[in-house]
Chains A and B, each alone.
Chain A
C-alpha cells in the first residue's frame, strides 16, 4: 500500500493506487477507521505550557514513577 503512493501536492493526505483506482487516505478517513479525536490542535503557547515543566521543579516523570531526581 505504501509503495503505491501517488506524489501529490496535497500535504494533508496520502493517495494510493489500487486496481487502477486512486484511493485517498486523509484525516477524514483516519477518523473513519479509528474514531479518535481529530479536532484542531491547540495553540503552540498553550501546548508548550502543558508539555514542559516549570523551571526549577522536577519533571513530572519522577513523581509519576515515584523516584527522586538523580536516583
Chain B
C-alpha cells in the first residue's frame, strides 16, 4: 500500500476513528518522510506492525534508524571498485537517497550560511510554526557554477581571517620578543 493511498484515505474519510487516523498518520510520517525508500513510497509491513503499540512506536529511535538508512545509500566507499566506476557514478545527474535526505540540506545551510545568499528568499525568517506563510518558495536547485564561485569567495576570505588573527596575536606578544624575531 502506497503512502499516497494512505494520505488519500486520511483526507477523504473525515469520520475515521481517531485511533486509526493517528496510527495512519504515524505510518505516513515515518515511512513517507523519515525512511522513504522505494518509489512510489510504500508503507512497510514492519512499521505498520510496530504502530500497533503506539507507546513503543513513539519511543523508538527513528532518528538513528533514518540516519543509518541514509548513510547506507549515500556513503561513498565500499561501492568504489575502481576509478572508472567512480567517475561513472559521479557523472550521474541524480542520486537516489533513502532515509531523511532533507537533513543533509539543512546541515549544509547550517554549516555554510553563505549558501543562503544563493537562495531566492534566503533571508525569510518564517517557519512552518508560523501560521501565516503566504506561499512556499519554489524549490530551486543550485547551479554548480554558483557553488564554485561561492567557494572561491570563502577561499579568498579565509586567508584574510588568518592574517587578522596573526596580527592580533602579534599585538599580544610583548615588543621585546618581537624584536628578537
Contacts and interface: CB of A to CB of B under 8 A. Distances in A.
Nearest to A46: B56
A26 to B, nearest CB: 9
B154 to A, nearest CB: 4
Interface stretch (B99-107, B120-128, B167-175): B99-107
Contacts, number: 109
Question: Main secondary structure on chain B at its contact with chain A?
Answer: helix
A23 B109 CA distance: 12
Interface string A35-71: 0111111100000001111000001110011100000
B67 A61 contact: no
Interface residues of A, number: 38
Contacts of B134: none
Nearest to B89: A3
Interface of B: 1, 6, 9, 20, 23-24, 27, 34, 43, 45-53, 56, 60-67, 71, 74-77, 80, 90, 95, 97, 100, 103-104, 106-108, 110-112, 151, 154-155, 158
6 nearest A-B residue pairs (beta carbon): A36-B63, A51-B46, A19-B154, A38-B63, A33-B106, A38-B64
Given A11-B75, A19-B151, A19-B158, A59 B64 contact: no
Contact of A50 (B45, B53, B64, B154): B53
A64 B48 contact: yes
A61 B107 contact: no
Contacts of B43: 61
Given A7-B80, A11-B77, A64-B23, 19 more contacts: A2-B104, A3-B90, A5-B75, A25-B104, A27-B67, A29-B107, A30-B63, A30-B103, A31-B63, A36-B62, A37-B63, A38-B61, A40-B61, A42-B60, A50-B50, A50-B53, A59-B45, A64-B51, A65-B9
